[in-house]
Amino acid sequence: MAGRDAFGTELRRGDGGSPEIFTAIGNVGTFSGPSPERDTYDVTAHDSPTRYREFIGGLINGGEVSVEVHYDPDKHDLLVADLEDDDARTYQMESPVGEVWEFSAIMTGFEREMPVDGQMAGTITWQVTGRPTITPAP
């Protein structure tokens, strides 16, 4: 198989309750992330055998999640409160085949665009905190 169609991917926002209830965030276009990255530490010493730098693995950063939305104040303005909240919130991204990425994140950006000759749009960005949970498709 050459690939899979991403149409139908859904972003959901947790309510912070127990049990947590997730609500879909509508009008989402393009998703990106989470994009984890791992630090490395240079451990090269004068007696390293090959004159090549040597590294060990360090901490992992959960990365960022970014979504482009077809901005609708009725659907998206409630998210502005997340930008003002110091605490992380839980989100889920579910692909059309049923794979779910669940992650805690702090919103770091909420940018709206109001072009004179086009639709309202926006970009929302989160910093992932901790390790995302991946539930494979059934």
User: Which CATH number goes with the domain that contains 103?
Assistant: 4.10.410.40
Of 50, 34, 137, give the one whose Cα is nearest residue 95: 137
Q: Is the pLDDT of residue 67 over 90?
A: yes
pTM of the model: 0.86
Q: Is there a domain that residue 96 lies in?
A: yes
User: Are the beta carbons of 89 and 14 closer than 8 angstroms?
Assistant: yes
Quick: pLDDT tens for 79-133: 888 999 999 999 999 999 999 999 999 999 999 999 999 999 999 999 999 999 9
Q: Is the pLDDT of residue 6 over 90?
A: no
Q: Is there a domain that residue 51 lies in?
A: yes
Q: Is there a domain that residue 91 lies in?
A: yes
Task: Name the band, by pLDDT with cuts 50, 70 and 90, for residue 1.
Answer: low
Query: Looking at the 3D structure of the chain, how many domains does it have?
Result: 1
What does the DSSP assignment read for the chain? ------TT-EEEEE-S-SS--EEEPPSEEEEE----EEEEEE---TT-TTSS--EEEEEEE--EEEEEE---HHHHGGGHHHHH-SS-EEEEEE-TTS-EEEEEEEEEEEEEE--TTS--EEEEEEEEEEEEEEE---
Q: Is there a domain that residue 57 lies in?
A: yes
Q: Is there a domain that residue 3 lies in?
A: no
How much is the average pLDDT of 6-20?
92
Q: Is there a domain that residue 2 lies in?
A: no
Q: Is there a domain that residue 5 lies in?
A: no
Range of the domain at 59: 10-135
